[in-house]
C-alpha cells in the first residue's frame, strides 16, 4: 500500500473532451448511414478502442451497459414495425390480424402483413440507433467524468447543478448497478420479469445515482464552483439569456438540418447563429468569473490525434455519400446483401487509431 | 463568528429549526449534539447556505458568518469564509488526484498559481498528507480521504469549518488521525470549527463548547453541562452522572481522577461473568480466501461459530471484514476455502435457499429496500421468501414500535431503516445473521435498541456476527471478538479479554474502571453493593 504510485511526472490519460469528441464524431458518422456493415464496423471499432484504452475505474463498465441498451433499442424498433407497420414489401413473412383504425388515424395500421423487406429496414434503422447509443457508451467508459467536470466552462454556473447531474449520472448508474444487484440476491429475488426488474433494480439504481449526483453538485457548490461574487446581476442575466438563446438556436438548427422540411441554407444559418450566441455567452461569462488553474490540463498532440481519427470517420461517410450514395443508404427492396461503402469503411477504420495512439497507461505496483 | 439570529426553517409542513439563536465565537471548537433526525445536518448546511439554496424550504431569520450574510449569498460565494465537509468524502470529490482536489477551491476563487502552490503545500504539511500528495484519491485509506476532504475545504483559508460526522465511518485509528489534525487546525490557524458527530466519545475531549439541538430548539453550554442533560451522551458522561461526579467529566483523564473512590468500592466485586450460552455449532469456515482485482482481501480465515454466539468482527478499514461477511453468506466472491452453514455450502445454493441459511444486512441497509411504502416492503419480503402473509410485518412490530406503514423507506430515520432491513432479512428465518457496519448512522438510543434486538435474537438461538468499528457497541453487544488485519485473523476470544488487552479497542468504562466494560455493568455492581448494605 505504501509503494507510492505517483512519484515522478505522471503519465496522464487522454483528455476527456477528446474522448467525447471522438465518440460524438463516430456517432455522427453512424447517423449518416443505414448500411449495416458500416454500422457493425463502427460498433466493433468503438469496442476495440474501449477495450484497449479504458482504465479500471468504476465507470469503465459503462460500455457493456450501453451495448445492452442498444440491443433493446433494436428489439423495440422491430416490435414497433411488426405492430404499426412501416416500409412495405412483397416477400410476406407472416400476416397478423389487422385492425382498421378510424379516419383521423389514417396512415397508421395495426397488425397486417409483415414483410422481409420491411423487417430488414426496421432492423437496420434500429441498428443505427443502437450504434449511436453504443458510441455514447464508449465515451462514458473512456472519459473520466471528474476530469470532464473540471473542463466545464465556469460560465455554465447558472446551470451548474444540471451540468453536474448530466455529466455524472451515467457513471454513477454503472457503479450502482452491481451493488444493487448483489443486494437483490440477498433478498433471494432473482426474477427476470421486466416489471420486477424495473422496480427492484432500475428504480433504486436511478434513485441512488441521482442522489449521488446531487451530493456531488452540492459539494462543488460549497467548494466555490460557479462563484458569481462581484458580477452585477444585469450582466449575469444577459449572459444567461444569450446562453439559453444560443442553445435553443443550436437545437432548432440541428432539428431543421436533420428534417427535410427546412431548406438547407436556412437550417445552417440557424445553427451558426445559435452556436455563435452560445459561444459568446460562454466566453463573455467566463471572462467575468475569476478562475485559475493549478495545473493546466493541456490538450496535447495525442488528444488532437484522437479527435482527428474520429473526424476521419465522418469525412469517410461524406465522401462515400458523394461518390457511392447507393451504398450509404442501401435499398432493402428488392432483398439483396448491401455492398460495403469503401471510403466510409476506411474512415471508420482510421477511427480505431486511439487503440494504438492512446492505450491505457501501464500501471505497476498498484495495490 | 457564526451567528444565528432567530432562525426558523420549515420544510413543507415540518418545522426543523424553531427560532434558533446562537453564537459560535472565533477560534472555538464547537460540538453540535442531538439525536438522529433532530436536524443537525440541516443546521450545519444552513451555515454555508446549502440549506435552503440547494434543498428548498422556507427560512426566516438571519445567519451571518464572519459578518457576511448567508441570505444574500450562494454557497459558492461563501466558499472563502466557510469550508464544508460532508459525511461521505468520496461522494464530494470533484477530481481524481489529491493535489488537484486540494487546489479546487483555490482555483474557483481565482488565486494566482504561485500562491495556490504555497497554500496547497501548507495544507499538505499541516494535515500530514505529504506522502500521498501525488496519489490518486481512489488509492487512499478512508482516514486519508477524510483528511484530504478537510484540507480541500481549508485551502481557501476559510474562517469557519463545518463538519458533518467526520469520523462515523472510520476505524478508531483513522478517527484519531482526523481528530488530532482538526485539533491542530484550531490551535495553529485559529479556525472556528462546528462539528456534528454520533460517536461523541471520540470528539468530546476536543470540544470547547457544545450545542444541543432538540425539537428544533438549541441550548448552548459547556460540553459537560450539555451532555449531562442530553438524550445522547457518551459512556464517560453516563458513568459520571451515575456516580454523581461533579461536572460531569467529559474526558477519560478527568474521569480517572474522580474514579478513585468508586474503584475502591468495586474492588472486591469481580464482574459477574455470565457464561456465554453456546449451542450447537452452526458455521464452520476454513481457509476462506477472497481475491479482489489486485488485492487479497481475505487471506485463509478459519472461523467456527455456534448458535447463541454474538460475535463482533473488528479491524481497520480495508482489513477484509465486509468481504469476509459476504463470502460467508455465499453471495459474495470466494476464491478458496470452504464454508458450511448447518452442513450446507451457501455458495452452491440458489439465492432464495441461501438466505434461509444466512441473512446479511449490507452496510447500506437501503440497498435491501425497494418498495414505496413500509407495508409494501413487508408484503414484498413475504412474497420473496414464500413466508405466510404478515410475517415480516410481525417481525418489524417486534423490532420497533410506531412505524408508519405508509411512510417511504427512504424517509425513515437511520435506525428505523435498519430495523426494516433487519425485518426483511429475518423473514426468511436464517439461523446465521450477518450485519455489516450497522451502527454508522445510529445515535446512542438507536444503538442501545439495536443491541437489545440482537441479544434477543441470539438468545432465541441465532448466531449473530457484526462487523463494526464501534468499540462502545462491541462492549455492549459482543460475547466474542474476532480481530482481522490484512485479511487474517490476529485475535479471537471472549470479548472481555480481547478488548481490555488493546488500548485501541478498549471502551471508555474499561479505561476508567479496569475490568468493567459498560455503564450497565457498573450500575448492576453498585446495586448489588447497596442491596448487601441493606441486608447487613
Q: What pLDDT was estimated at residue A9?
A: 40
Flag if A223 and B110 touch (Cβ within 8 Å): no
Give the residue from B245, B250, B246 showing the smallest Cα distance to B230: B250
A182, A229, A294: residue with CB nearest B100: A294
Task: State the nearest Cα–Cα gap between A109 and chain B, in angstroms.
Answer: 39
Q: What pLDDT was estimated at residue A112?
A: 76
pLDDT tens-place string over residues A223-243: 888 776 566 777 777 777 887
Rounded distance between C-alpha atoms, residue B310 and residue B477, angstroms? 7
Q: Helices A36-53 & A62-84, crossing angle to 10 degrees?
A: 160
Q: What pLDDT was estimated at residue A333?
A: 74
- In sequence order, which ranges of chain A are alpha helices (DSSP H)? 16-31, 36-53, 62-84, 116-142, 145-151, 160-186, 194-197, 203-222, 233-258, 264-288, 301-323, 325-328, 342-350, 354-357
Q: Count interface pairs A-B at CB distance under 8 A.
A: 182
Q: Are B84 and B162 in contact (CB under 8 A)?
A: yes
**Model confidence at A109, in pLDDT bands (50, 70, 90)?**
low
Task: State the nearest Cα–Cα gap between A363 and chain B, in angstroms.
Answer: 11
* Cα distances (angstroms) measured from residue B121 to each of A4, B115, B127, B128, B389: 18, 10, 10, 10, 62
ipTM of the shown complex: 0.87
Ranges A126-140, A180-194, A276-290, most confident: A126-140
pLDDT tens-place string over residues B317-337: 888 999 999 999 999 889 999
Q: What pLDDT was estimated at residue A10?
A: 47
pLDDT tens-place string over residues B268-279: 777 666 666 677
Residues A233, B46, B59: CA angle, nearest 5 degrees: 75
B112, B133, B359: residue with CB nearest A292: B112
**Which residue out of A224, A232, A293, A366 would a mutagenesis test of the B interface target, given it has the greatest number of B Cβ atoms within 10 Å?**
A224
Q: Is residue B386 predicted with pLDDT exceeding 60?
A: yes
What's the grid cell of residue B451?
443491541
A296 touches B: beta carbon within 8 Å: no
**Which residue out of A183, A198, A199, A360 would a mutagenesis test of the B interface target, given it has the greatest number of B Cβ atoms within 10 Å?**
A183
Task: State the nearest Cα–Cα gap between B191 and chain A, in angstroms.
Answer: 17
Reported CATH class of domain B281-507: alpha beta
Q: What pLDDT was estimated at residue B273?
A: 63
Q: Are B434 and B359 in contact (CB under 8 A)?
A: yes
B79, B113, B368: residue with CB nearest A223: B79
pLDDT tens-place string over residues A240-277: 788 788 888 888 887 776 666 667 778 788 888 888 88
**Model confidence at A2, in pLDDT bands (50, 70, 90)?**
very low
Interface of B with A in 63-92 (CB under 8 A): 73-80, 82, 84, 86, 88, 91-92
Q: Is residue B473 predicted with pLDDT exceeding 90?
A: yes
**What integer is the mean pLDDT of B474-499?**
92
| B281-507 and B2-231 share a CATH fold | yes
A190 touches B: beta carbon within 8 Å: yes
Rounded distance between C-alpha atoms, residue B86 and residue A216, angstroms? 10
A6, A216, A227: residue with CB nearest B92: A216
**What integer is the mean pLDDT of B338-366?**
91
B94, B103, B329: residue with CB nearest A294: B103
**Model confidence at A5, in pLDDT bands (50, 70, 90)?**
very low
Give the residue from B32, B4, B2, B1 showing the smallest Cα distance to B20: B4
B56 touches A: beta carbon within 8 Å: no
pLDDT tens-place string over residues A32-88: 888 999 999 999 999 999 998 887 777 788 888 899 999 999 999 998 888 877 777
Rounded distance between C-alpha atoms, residue A288 and residue A347, angstroms? 41
Flag if A183 and B86 touch (Cβ within 8 Å): no
Flag if A224 and B105 touch (Cβ within 8 Å): yes
- In sequence order, which ranges of B190-243 are alpha helices (DSSP H)? 200-203, 223-229, 235-243
Instruction: Decide if domain B2-231 falls under CATH 3.40.50.300.
Output: yes
Flag if A5 and B360 touch (Cβ within 8 Å): no
pLDDT tens-place string over residues A315-346: 999 898 888 888 888 877 777 888 889 999 99
Q: Are B491 and B474 in contact (CB under 8 A)?
A: no
Q: Which residue has the higher pLDDT, B142 or A296?
A: B142
pLDDT tens-place string over residues A309-322: 999 999 999 898 88
B112 touches A: beta carbon within 8 Å: yes
**What integer is the mean pLDDT of B454-459?**
92
Q: Helices A16-31 & A301-323, crossing angle to 10 degrees?
A: 10
Q: Which residue has the higher pLDDT, B50 or A229?
A: B50
Rounded distance between C-alpha atoms, residue B30 and residue B208, angstroms? 6
State the greatest distance between any 2 C-alpha atoms of chain B, in Å, as a whole number.
Answer: 80
Residues of B whose CB is below 8 A from A187 = 351, 355, 368, 381, 384, 424
Q: Is residue A367 predicted with pLDDT exceeding 60?
A: no
Q: Which residue has the higher pLDDT, B136 or A347?
A: A347
Q: What pLDDT was estimated at residue B121?
A: 94
Domain segments of chain B: what residues? 2-231, 234-266+513-536, 281-507
Task: State the nearest Cα–Cα gap between B211 and chain A, in angstroms.
Answer: 23
* Cα distances (angstroms) measured from residue A204 to each of B382, B409, B463: 20, 12, 30
Flag if B105 and A190 touch (Cβ within 8 Å): no
B44 touches A: beta carbon within 8 Å: no
Residues of A whose CB is below 8 A from B133 = 6
Flag if A212 and B425 touch (Cβ within 8 Å): no
Q: What pLDDT was estimated at residue A64?
A: 87
**Which residue out of B42, B46, B51, B75 would a mutagenesis test of the A interface target, given it has the greatest number of A Cβ atoms within 10 Å?**
B75
Q: Give chain B's mean pLDDT.
A: 89
B108 touches A: beta carbon within 8 Å: yes
Peptide bond into A170 cis (omega under 30): no
Q: What pLDDT was estimated at residue B216?
A: 92
B293 touches A: beta carbon within 8 Å: yes
How would you label B401-423 residue by residue, b for 16+ Cβ within 10 Å and e otherwise?
Answer: eebeeebebeebbbbbbbbbbbb
Flag if B139 and A366 touch (Cβ within 8 Å): yes
Residues of A whose CB is below 8 A from B486 = none
Q: What pLDDT was estimated at residue B179?
A: 92
Nearest chain B residue (CA) to A5? B135
pLDDT tens-place string over residues B6-47: 999 998 888 999 999 999 999 999 999 998 888 899 999 999
CA quadruple B198, B203, B207, B213: dihedral, nearest 10: 0
pLDDT tens-place string over residues A180-219: 888 888 888 878 888 888 888 888 888 888 888 888 888 8
Dihedrals φ, ψ of B64, to 5°? -130, 145
pLDDT tens-place string over residues A142-151: 888 878 877 7
Task: State the nearest Cα–Cα gap between B131 and chain A, in angstroms.
Answer: 8
Amino acid at each position: 500500500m505504501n509503494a507510492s504510485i505517483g512519484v515522478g511526472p505522471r503519465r496522464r490519460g487522454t483528455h476527456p473532451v477528446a474522448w467525447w469528441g471522438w465518440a460524438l464524431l463516430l456517432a455522427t458518422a453512424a447517423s449518416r448511414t443505414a448500411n449495416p456493415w458500416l454500422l457493425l464496423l463502427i460498433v466493433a471499432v468503438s469496442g476495440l478502442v474501449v477495450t484497449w484504452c479504458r482504465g479500471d475505474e468504476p465507470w469503465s463498465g459503462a460500455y457493456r451497459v450501453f451495448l445492452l441498451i442498444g440491443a433493446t433499442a433494436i428489439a423495440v424498433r422491430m416490435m414497433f414495425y411488426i405492430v404499426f407497420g412501416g416500409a412495405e414489401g412483397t416477400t410476406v413473412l407472416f400476416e397478423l390480424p389487422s385492425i382498421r383504425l378510424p379516419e383521423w388515424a389514417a396512415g397508421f395500421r395495426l397488425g397486417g402483413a409483415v414483410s422481409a423487406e420491411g423487417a430488414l429496414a426496421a432492423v437496420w434503422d434500429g441498428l443505427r440507433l443502437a450504434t449511436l447509443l453504443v458510441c455514447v457508451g464508449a465515451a462514458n467508459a473512456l472519459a473520466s467524468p471528474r476530469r470532464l467536470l473540471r473542463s466545464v466552462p465556469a460560465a455554465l454556473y447558472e446551470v451548474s447543478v444540471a451540468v453536474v447531474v448530466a455529466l455524472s449520472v451515467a457513471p454513477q448508474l454503472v457503479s450502482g448497478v452491481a451493488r444493487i444487484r448483489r443486494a437483490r440476491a440477498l433478498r433471494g429475488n432473482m426474477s427476470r420479469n421486466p416489471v420486477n426488474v424495473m422496480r427492484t433494480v432500475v428504480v433504486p439504481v436511478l434513485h441512488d445515482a441521482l442522489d449521488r449526483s446531487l451530493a456531488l453538485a452540492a459539494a462543488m457548490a460549497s467548494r466555490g464552483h460557479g462563484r458569481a461574487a462581484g458580477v452585477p446581476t444585469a450582466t449575469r442575466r444577459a449572459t444567461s439569456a444569450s446562453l439559453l438563446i444560443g442553445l435553443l438556436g443550436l437545437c432548432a438548427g440541428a432539428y431543421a438540418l436533420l428534417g427535410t422540411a427546412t431548406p438547407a441554407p436556412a437550417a445552417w444559418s440557424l445553427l451558426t447563429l445559435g452556436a455563435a450566441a452560445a459561444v459568446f455567452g460562454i466566453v463573455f461569462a467566463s471572462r467575468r468569473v475569476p478562475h485559475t488553474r493549478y495545473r493546466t490540463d493541456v490538450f496535447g498532440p495525442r488528444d488532437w490525434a484522437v479527435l482527428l481519427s474520429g473526424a476521419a470517420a465522418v469525412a469517410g461517410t461524406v465522401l462515400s455519400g458523394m461518390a457511392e450514395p447507393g451504398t450509404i443508404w442501401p435499398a432493402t427492396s428488392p432483398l439483396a446483401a448491401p455492398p460495403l461503402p469503401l471510403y466510409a469503411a476506411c474512415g471508420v477504420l482510421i477511427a480505431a487509431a486511439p487503440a494504438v495512439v492512446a492505450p491505457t497507461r501501464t500501471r505497476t505496483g498498484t495495490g | 463568528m457564526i451567528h444565528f439570529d432567530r432562525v426558523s426553517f420549515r420544510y413543507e409542513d415540518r418545522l426543523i429549526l424553531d427560532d434558533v439563536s446562537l453564537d459560535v465565537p472565533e477560534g472555538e471548537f464547537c460540538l453540535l449534539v442531538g439525536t438522529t433526525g433532530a436536524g443537525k445536518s440541516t443546521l450545519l448546511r444552513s451555515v454555508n447556505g446549502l440549506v435552503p439554496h440547494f434543498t428548498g424550504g422556507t427560512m426566516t431569520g438571519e445567519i451571518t458568518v464572519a459578518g457576511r450574510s448567508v441570505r444574500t449569498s450562494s454557497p459558492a460565494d461563501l466558499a472563502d469564509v466557510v469550508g464544508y465537509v460532508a459525511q461521505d468524502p468520496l461522494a464530494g470529490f470533484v477530481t481524481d488526484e489529491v493535489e488537484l482536489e486540494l487546489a479546487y477551491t483555490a482555483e474557483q476563487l481565482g488565486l494566482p498559481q504561485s500562491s495556490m502552490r504555497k497554500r496547497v503545500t501548507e495544507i499538505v504539511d499541516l494535515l500530514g498528507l505529504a506522502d500521498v500528495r501525488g496519489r490518486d484519491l481512489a488509492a487512499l485509506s478512508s482516514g486519508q480521504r477524510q483528511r484530504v476532504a478537510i484540507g480541500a475545504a481549508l485551502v481557501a483559508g476559510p474562517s469557519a469549518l463545518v463538519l458533518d460526522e467526520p469520523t462515523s465511518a472510520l476505524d478508531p485509528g483513522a478517527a484519531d488521525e482526523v481528530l488530532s489534525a482538526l485539533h491542530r487546525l484550531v490551535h495553529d490557524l485559529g479556525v472556528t470549527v462546528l462539528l456534528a458527530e454520533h460517536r461523541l466519545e471520540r470528539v468530546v475531549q476536543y470540544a470547547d463548547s457544545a450545542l444541543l439541538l432538540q425539537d428544533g430548539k438549541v441550548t448552548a453550554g459547556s460540553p459537560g453541562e450539555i451532555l449531562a442533560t442530553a438524550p445522547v451522551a457518551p459512556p464517560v458522561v453516563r458513568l459520571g452522572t451515575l456516580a454523581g461526579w461533579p461536572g460531569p467529566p467529559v474526558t477519560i483523564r478527568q474521569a480517572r481522577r474522580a474514579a478513585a473512590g468508586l474503584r475502591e468500592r468495586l474492588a472486591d466485586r469481580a464482574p459477574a461473568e455470565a457464561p456465554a450460552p453456546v449451542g450447537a455449532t452452526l458455521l464452520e469456515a476454513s481457509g476462506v480466501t477472497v481475491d479482489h482485482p489486485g488485492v487479497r482481501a481475505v487471506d485463509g480465515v478459519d472461523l467456527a461459530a455456534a448458535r447463541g454466539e454474538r460475535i463482533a468482527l473488528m479491524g481497520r478499514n480495508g482489513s477484509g471484514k465486509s468481504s469476509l461477511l459476504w463470502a460467508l453468506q455465499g453471495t459474495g466472491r470466494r476464491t478458496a476455502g470452504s464454508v458450511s452453514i448447518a452442513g450446507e455450502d451457501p455458495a452452491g445454493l440458489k439465492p432464495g435457499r441461501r438466505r434461509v441459511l444466512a441473512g446479511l444486512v449490507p452496510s447500506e441497509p437501503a440497498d435491501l429496500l425497494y418498495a414505496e411504502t413500509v407495508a409494501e416492503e413487508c408484503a414484498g419480503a413475504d412474497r420473496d421468501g414464500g413466508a405466510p402473509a404478515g410475517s415480516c410485518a410481525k417481525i418489524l412490530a417486534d423490532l420497533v414500535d410506531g412505524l408508519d406503514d405508509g411512510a417511504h423507506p427512504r424517509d425513515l430515520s437511520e435506525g428505523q431503516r435498519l430495523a426494516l432491513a433487519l425485518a426483511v432479512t429475518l423473514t426468511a428465518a436464517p439461523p446465521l445473521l450477518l450485519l455489516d457496519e450497522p451502527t454508522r448512522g445510529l445515535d446512542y438510543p438507536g444503538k442501545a435498541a439495536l443491541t437489545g434486538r440482537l441479544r434477543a435474537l441470539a438468545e432465541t438461538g441465532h448466531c449473530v456476527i457484526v462487523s463494526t468499528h464501534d468499540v462502545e457497541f462491541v462492549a455492549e453487544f459482543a460475547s466474542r471478538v474476532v480481530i482481522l488485519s490484512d485479511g487474517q485473523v490476529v485475535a479471537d476470544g471472549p470479548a472481555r479479554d480481547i478488548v481490555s488487552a488493546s488500548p485501541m479497542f478498549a471502551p471508555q468504562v474499561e479505561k476508567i474502571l479496569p475490568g468493567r466494560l459498560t455503564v450497565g455493568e457498573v450500575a448492576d455492581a453498585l446495586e448489588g453493593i447497596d442491596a448487601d448494605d441493606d441486608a447487613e
